[in-house]
Structure 1
Amino acid sequence: MKHISILIPQGTSSLSNIEGTFQILSEVNNLRAEMRQAPLFNIQMVGLATEAKQRNGLFTIKPDVVFEDVKKTDLIIIPAMHGNLPAALEMNKDLLPWVVKQYKNGAEVASYCIGAFFLAQTGLLKGKQCATHWKLANEFRRMYPDVNLVDDKIMTEEDGIYTSGGAYSYLNLLLYLVEKYAGRDVAILMSKAFMIDIDRDSQSPFIIFQGQKTHEDEPIKKAQVFIEKNFQDKITVDQLAGMLALGRRNLERRFKKATSNTVIEYIQRVKIEAAKKNFETSRKNINEVMYDVGYSDTKAFRTIFRKITGLSPIEYRNKYNKEAATLA
């Protein structure tokens, strides 16, 4: 039987992460009981204290056990922690060495959504891939530059460490773990019972590109604003460098450092974000939207659109604009 430790942090945690994990893993045990099989999971909620008040006392969770009393576990689940992240990390810092010790003793570790910040704080993610909520991708990169953040993925797995993307994508990681421990047939049954779209592997269609301006490099901010106001036009790196009186290599280096994108990538993402909004709200066809955002090559537009969103322009329009889809 695998011992599952669902962490119950102090502060404000994702109750859906905690309860959803408990419910689905318990249902796996129930299914096995119906088949006259032994339970697969020993599920415990593990806390810093015997009581954890959440949402300013609106909810209270009573963990089964405090972390010092768990000498050996097989899988640690880290839920998302909301509110002020530095404060949340400080509030729960006593859990960090316990997680590291359990991992070194053979436990696997999974973080949901922005629980990745807590997992990164342990140091276990150094040099490894990691997913988190796309909205906090820039903040994560700033705080943990030695982690390979892949903000388009629903989940990652590396050396017994798992991470999931934003919000309810934790369900996809949870199903993946069920499949690993209980088999594909059980994972499919759970996906049907809880109506979870199994095998979804990208959060790209949900990303809203808002530009990365939480930096102090003012010339680069000016370049970003210029791109966002003139994305319909052909903008070159040399043009921006001349406008800012910077050398091309210096501009490209500073731009990448400040925004985590190259200049060309940034221009592409601004254009595609404008195209996405067009597809969501208008009845324009693919070519009309393409020209509106400054592309003239249909193949290039489709290729870049799919690379950024994970969907073709038609698929995206049909997914997010029902009126346009019915007219297609």
Structure 2
Amino acid sequence: MTMTMQIVPNIALVDYPGAQRAALHGLADMFRLIARLDPEAAGPEVTIVNADTLPQQGVTALLFPPSIGGARGALDHPLARWAHRQHAQGALACSVCAGAFWLGHAGLLDGRPVTTHWGLEESFRETFPKARLEPEHILIDDGDVITAGGLMAWTDLGLHLTGLWYGGAMVSRLARYLLIDPAGREQRNYSSFRPERGHGDTAVLAAQRHMEMHLQGPLTVPQLAQVAGLPLRSFIRRFQAATGHAPATYLQALRIEKARGALERGAENIAQIAWTVGYADLPAFARAFKSRTGLTPGAYRARFRAAFPPGAVSRRIPLA
């Protein structure tokens, strides 16, 4: 679901100790070009923040850029605590390269597929053993958390976010202006399911978070109402008002979106993917998947699966 331009994205770029200046200011420039390329578009509000200037109001997205030898955060660091609070309020949490360590310390990566620079693989696995690290991928969009890999992957993330908020046409215009090749940058995801999380209804957001983390198990609307702490009818009414979807419709869309990501990234068989996202019945999964994407799971994988040359991530050179 592409964000309507009635809502102007508010992006906080985090200037942590050692953050790469080129990425911080390059992302700011990239996002500010949107309004220049299309004067009718309300370009995003971009702020570079640090530990002393953290906004307390909610942001649409927060982004930890890459670094070379910079700080990698800690559980009790003010930036990590702030990121956790913002994410709990509905912010999209993003990182590039070593920026993923900050999201990990914020408690946002357990059980999620994530990526970082391949040179950081060993350190990252030791620090966050519960995260599902997939360093062969340059970008992984897991809904409310997006991680990108190498030092220059901030360009991939910037184009990806532009597509989510402004559509594929703006991505093409921006890429041409910056002389960046957009090929292989997940433009197919620009029409993907992008649920609303910045609505401010904490009870509904609790149910949304519960779905994100428990897709594999059986989830019913009464169970979700209990998680939200609301009577069933009130929950259904408030969920629809906050997200624009009925709970059951939302849950199916979320499951199919997670399955799309798994089909694009990995080599798991389709039955395993279906089970992972909560479908015990493979034919039912296939029907739901085709209904939403227009393709069977197998055809979708054949068209969109990312390909990597043999040995592309075999060398492990430590990143200081």
Q: TM-score range by the shorter chain?
A: 0.5 to 0.7
User: Equivalent residue of 1:168, what SS?
Assistant: coil
Contact 1:172 1:200 in 2 (8 A): no
Within 5 Å, which residues of 2 pair with 1:148-297?
148-200=132-184
CA 70–29 in structure 1, closer or farther in 2 if over 3 Å, else same = farther
The answer on 1:31 being equivalent to 2:17 is: no
State the distance in 2 between where 1:70 and 1:25 align. 22
1:110: which partner in 2?
94
C-alpha distance after superposition, 1:270-289 (max 9, x if no partner): xxxxxxxxxxxxxxxxxxxx
More strand by share: 1
State the distance in 2 between where 1:159 and 1:192 align. 27
Residue 27 of structure 1: how far off its partner (Å): 0.2
State the superposition RMSD in angstroms.
2.6
Q: Which runs of 5+ in 1 are unaligned?
A: 50-65, 203-306, 317-328
Residues matched between the structures, number: 187
The answer on 1:311 being equivalent to 2:306 is: no
1:73: which partner in 2?
59
CA 188–46 in structure 1, closer or farther in 2 if over 3 Å, else same = same
1:3: which partner in 2?
10
More helix by share: 1
State, as a whole percentage, how many aligned pairs show the same letter.
21
2:44: which partner in 1?
41
CA 104–189 in structure 1, closer or farther in 2 if over 3 Å, else same = same
User: Equivalent residue of 1:163, what SS?
Assistant: strand
Residue 71 of structure 1: how far off its partner (Å): 1.0
Larger gyration radius, structure 1 or structure 2 = 1
C-alpha distance after superposition, 1:94-147 (max 9, x if no partner): 111211111111110110111011111111010001111011111111111100
State the distance in 2 between where 1:91 and 1:146 align. 15
Task: Pick from 135, 159, 178 the counterpart of residue 119 of structure 2.
Answer: 135
- Of structures 1 and 2, the one scoring higher in RCO (CA 8 A, sep 6+) is 2
User: Normalized against structure 1, the TM-score is what?
Assistant: 0.53
State the distance in 1 between where 2:166 and 2:22 align. 22
Contact 1:48 1:92 in 2 (8 A): no
State the distance in 2 between where 1:309 and 1:138 align. 23
User: Normalized against structure 2, the TM-score is what?
Assistant: 0.54
1:125: which partner in 2?
109
The answer on 1:22 being equivalent to 2:28 is: yes
Q: Which amino acid aligns with 2:15?
A: I
Structure 1 stretches of 4+ with a deviation exceeding 6 A read: none
User: Equivalent residue of 1:159, what SS?
Assistant: coil
